[in-house]
Amino acid sequence: MSTILISGGAGMVGTALTDLLLQNNHSVIILSRKKRISTLPNCKYALWDTDKGTIEDGIIATVDYIVHLAGENVAEKRWTKQRKEAILNSRVNSGHCIAKALKETPNKVKAVIAASAIGWYGPDQVNGRPFTEEALHHHDYLGDTCYQWEQSVAPIREMGIRLLQLRIGIVLSEKGGALKEFMKPLQFGAAVTMGSGKQIVSWIHVDDLCSMILFGMEQNGLSGVFNAVSPNPVSNQSLVEELVKASKKSFIIKIKLPAFLLKIILGEMSIEVLKSTTVSADKILSAGFKFNFLSISMAIKELVDKKNSVNTQ
C-alpha cells in the first residue's frame, strides 16, 4: 500500500481518482486550502497555501507519490483579464509550491504525475497528422499557459524524482465537466452542435484517465510527457449524435450554433470551442496502457446509463 498526495483532489477527476486509489488499497492525502475532515477511510486532508508556497508540516515526508491536478476550471467563466490570470496562476503557483516542498523537505517520493492539457497544441495542421508529444506549444493563451504549467514542475526532474506529465484531453464524466454542458440542451429536446460541427474533439473517459494515472505510478520506467486522450477522437457533431442516441429521446430538434454567435456568447473562449485539435494516443499505447473506453459510443452510453441510474435511485 502506498500513500498518494493529490492536489485538486476535490475536483471531478480528483474525486474519481481518490475512489480508484482507495479501491486499490492505497492511502490518500488531499491538499486543501481550508481545514477539512474526510469521511472516507484511509483518506485525509492536509493544508497548503499556493500563494505562500507552503504545505502542511510533515506531509511531504510521508508520501510515496504525488498527483498534481490543481487548477481553476478553464471553461467555468468568461475569459476576462482577471479570469485568465487566475487560470494561469492557479496552475503555475501550485506547481512551484510542490517543487519547492520537494526540494526543501527530505522525502521518499518515487514519482510525480502532473496534469497538463492538450491546450498545448494549436488547431489541426494542414497535413492532417495528429499532434504528438514532440510538437512545440502553440503561441496563444492556452498554449502559453500549458507551457508555463509544465515548466513550473520541471525542476522536480532535476531532483532525480520521476516526473510524468499528462496532456489531458476533454474529460467525459457523468458528474460534470464537458459532458454536462453537452447534455444540457437535450433536456429541452435540442441537439446543439458548435459551429460547423466538423471540429475534432480529443476526449477521454474519466475512468481511463484515472487508470492512466495509476498506470503511471506503477510503471517505474515511465517518465516524460504523454497525451491522455482516447485513440479515437471524434467530431463535435458525432459526439452530439451519440448523446442523442444514448438519451433515447423520442423528439429532438437539431440546432447548429454559428461561430459568430458563439463568439458573442463566449468571447475569447469560443476559439477553443470551435478549434479542431486531433491528438495522438500512440505513445501511451506503446507504453502498454489499455483503454477500457475506445469508442465515443461506448463511453457515452456507459456514462449516460450511470447518470440515469443515479437519478432514479
pLDDT in tens, 191-238: 888 889 999 999 999 999 999 999 999 999 999 999 999 999 999 999
Beta bridge partners of 116: 167
Mean pLDDT per block of 10 residues along the chain (313 residues) reads 95 96 97 92 95 94 97 87 93 96 96 97 86 95 95 96 97 88 83 89 97 96 97 94 85 81 79 88 98 96 83 55
Q: Quick check: is 248 in a domain?
A: no
Mean of the per-residue pLDDT values of the chain: 92
Provide the CATH number for the domain around residue 49. 3.40.50.720
In the prediction, which pLDDT does 311 show?
A: 60
Does a structural domain hold residue 89? yes
Torsion angles phi and psi, residue 176, rounded to 5: 145, -155
Residue 32 falls inside a structural domain: yes
| Domains held by the chain: number | 1
> In this predicted structure, what is the pLDDT of residue 312?
53
92-133 residue pLDDT tens = 999 999 999 999 999 999 999 999 999 999 999 877 799 999
Domain extent, residue 62, equals 3-173+202-231+278-294
Distances, alpha carbon 111 to alpha carbons 125, 164, 242, in Å: 34, 7, 38
Contact 167, 224 (CB under 8 A): no
pLDDT on residue 87: 93
What pTM does this model have?
A: 0.94
